[in-house]
């Protein structure tokens, strides 16, 4: 596997050398389903395909499966082929939230699909602009592939797995949502009992790049059996990306996350700090 992150300098060099790359622009806004495509139309890294958080990286929302369920395997595989992705391509994904909103989700989905060479652009869109790199508004041409992904469901945890008490649960939401002081999106406020709060923002520096390894190690507890969750299975992927950057065993993702858990009246809710 390649390193989990790629720097702007390395990506720019690979583009200048015309090395084979597939770039995915995963910018999105939770409160505006069309914002990502609008941002992409305004300008994107040359060659980048728009990757929609709701339509490409998720299935339709439901109370049972949460606000951003995993896409159906064949639907996602078809989309990957439409972008021209094969197992031999290096894929780079970026957003403008340090990976917290959709870039890490796209990275995780590609890992789930068995892709061996997917990376997140460290610092994302802001870092690309700050470095004075070129942008374009043209729509790139894709040459469809015939890749057949092999999905690894061992990367997924269920609600029952999260409830079993055998894994270290990490909640990637903001602290006030974890403690139950605020809940703007889901039916109940609080967290899964026993979960530890590691907000996705705590893994980033002010410029949206990841913390240096020594600081990242302090934020992410070392354990063999870890399950990551958040509001709807999006930002939890950033915690998993952090573990990958440290070359530690990857946590499993609970895709339904709090949006599914809090819709189930059988599931207990904890509040405050643990």
Separation of alpha carbons 25 and 139, rounded Å: 12
Write out pLDDT tens, residues 143-190.
Answer: 999 999 999 999 999 999 999 999 999 999 999 999 999 999 999 999
The model's pTM: 0.97
What are the pLDDT digits (tens) for 73-93? 999 999 999 999 999 999 999
Active-site positions read 230
Residue 167 confidence (pLDDT): 98
Name the average pLDDT for the chain. Answer: 96
Residues 112, 237 contacting (CB under 8 angstroms): no
pLDDT tens for each residue of 92-118? 999 999 878 899 999 999 999 999 999
Res 1 pLDDT > 80 = no
Give the list of residues 6+ apart from residue 102 with CB closer than 8 angstroms, or none: 26, 27, 28, 36, 51, 53, 57, 95, 234
pLDDT at residue number 242: 97
How confident is the model at residue 78, as a pLDDT? 97
Output 142 or 188, whichever has higher pLDDT.
188
Q: Which of 42-51, 78-87, 92-101, 243-252 has the lowest mean pLDDT?
A: 92-101
- Domains of the chain (ranges; CATH) run 5-151 (3.40.250.10), 154-261 (3.40.250.10)
- Residue 258: CB partners within 8 Å, gap ≥ 6? 171, 173, 177, 186, 191, 192, 229, 230, 231, 232
Confidence of residue 274 (pLDDT cuts 50, 70, 90): confident
pLDDT score at 100: 83
């Amino acid at each position: 596997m390649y390193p989990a992150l790629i720097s702007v300098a390395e990506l720019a060099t690979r583009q200048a050398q015309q090395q084979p790359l597939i770039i995915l622009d995963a910018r999105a806004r939770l409160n505006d389903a069309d914002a990502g495509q609008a941002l992409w139309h305004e300008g994107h890294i040359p060659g980048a395909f728009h990757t929609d958080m709701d339509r490409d990286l998720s299935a339709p929302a439901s109370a049972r499966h949460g606000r951003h369920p995993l896409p159906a395997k064949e639907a996602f595989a078809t989309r990957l082929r439409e972008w021209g992705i094969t197992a031999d391509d290096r894929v780079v994904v970026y957003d403008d939230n340090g990976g917290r909103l959709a870039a890490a989700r796209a990275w995780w989905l590609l890992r789930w699909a068995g892709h061996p060479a997917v990376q997140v652009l460290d610092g994302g869109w802001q870092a690309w602009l700050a470095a004075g790199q070129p942008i374009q508004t043209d729509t790139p041409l894709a040459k469809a592939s015939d890749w057949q992904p092999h999905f690894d469901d061992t990367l997924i945890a269920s609600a029952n797995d999260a409830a079993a008490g055998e894994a270290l649960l990490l909640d990637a939401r903001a602290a006030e949502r974890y403690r139950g002081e605020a809940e703007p999106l889901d039916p109940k406020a609080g967290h899964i009992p026993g979960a530890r709060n590691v907000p996705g923002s705590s893994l980033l520096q002010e410029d949206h790049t990841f913390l240096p390894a020594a600081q990242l190690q302090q934020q992410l507890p070392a354990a063999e059996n870890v399950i990551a969750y958040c509001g709807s299975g999006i930002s939890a992927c950033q915690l998993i990306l952090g573990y990958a950057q440290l070359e530690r065993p990857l946590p499993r993702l609970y895709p339904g996350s709090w949006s599914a858990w809090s819709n189930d009246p059988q599931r207990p809710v904890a509040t405050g700090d643990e």
